[in-house]
Amino acid sequence: MYNQNLKNKYNALFNIVQRLKEKKEQAQPQKEKTTIPSNLNPVEQEELQKQIDQQAYQWLVQQHQPRTTWLRNTILAFLVGGIICTLGQIIQNYFRGFGLTLREAGTVTVFIMVFLGAFLTGLGIYDKIGKYGGAGSIIPITGFANSIVASAMEFKREGYVYGVGARLFNVAGPVLTFGFIISVLIGLLYYFFT
């Protein structure tokens, strides 16, 4: 009875999925045909059938999705990420010229890059870079600043405490949480094992 109810619900789609499966099996003849073992109870059989249906449909979806242009995305990420890092290097070299140590110059560079990321977000430019750069604009520290400003700015209308203050850490929160935990763990491990 339960079996029948479920089958009714998916009735119109059932035939389609049957045909999809045939099509999928034609396309991939090397794979074994999926058959439902008969020793399962009806509810389990139905569940398995549903999973097979979903797989068949997802296969069809993949056939129709625009090809992921991962190569283009990767090249763009490489270029954008590379340019941001080169900018960082220019700033670092500049401050090294004043006689700052490598560590000091590094800190000043991070400081300036964070400012640039935040400022470009405020001007509404960083999201345009992100549209092309993808990971190339997310992974540098400027992307971290972008995620902070973007959510804080967007929720300004909810007030300064629950809007800006709370949302500031929307993406930054998890980063700091896991960053601090791993940092303390490494410190502890170092203390106990050396």
* Geometric angle at alpha carbon 163, from 162 and 169, rounded to 5°: 90
- Residue with Cβ nearer another protein (42 or 165): 165
Among residues 19, 27, 28, 42, the one that binds another protein under rule CB under 8 A: 19
Q: Which of residues 23-42 bind another protein (CB under 8 A)?
A: none
Using CB under 8 A as the binding rule, whether residue 140 contacts another protein is answered as yes
- Residues that bind another protein (rule: CB under 8 A) add up to a total of 110
Site string for another protein, 153-172 (x = CB under 8 A): xxxxx--x---xx--x-xxx
What whole-number distance in Å separates Cα of residue 120 and Cα of residue 148? 12
CA distances from 34 to 37, 52, 77 (A): 9, 8, 40
Nearest-approach distance from CB 27 to another protein, in angstroms: 14
Nearest-approach distance from CB 33 to another protein, in angstroms: 19
- Residue with Cβ nearer another protein (36 or 184): 184
List the beta strands (DSSP E) in 18-112: none
Closest-CA residue to 57 (of 6, 2, 18, 7): 18
Q: Which stretch binds another protein (CB under 8 A): 13-21, 29-37, 41-49?
A: 13-21
- Residue with Cβ nearer another protein (38 or 130): 130
- In our burial notation (b when 16+ CB lie closer than 10 A, e otherwise), range 125-153 reads ebeebbeebbbbbbbbbbbbbbbbbbbbb
Exposed / middle / buried, residue 60 (Cβ in 10 Å: 0-12, 13-18, 19+): middle
What whole-number distance in Å separates Cα of residue 190 and Cα of residue 194? 6
Site string for another protein, 73-92 (x = CB under 8 A): xxxxxxxxxxxxxx-xxxxx
Nearest-approach distance from CB 12 to another protein, in angstroms: 5
- Residue with Cβ nearer another protein (38 or 62): 62
User: Distance between alpha carbon 152 and the CA centroid of its chain, in Å?
Assistant: 20
Among residues 9, 36, 40, 47, the one that binds another protein under rule CB under 8 A: 9
Structure tokens at 4: 């029948």
Site string for another protein, 100-139 (x = CB under 8 A): ------xx-xxx-xxx--xx-xxxx-xxxxxx-xxxxxxx
- Residue with Cβ nearer another protein (43 or 128): 128
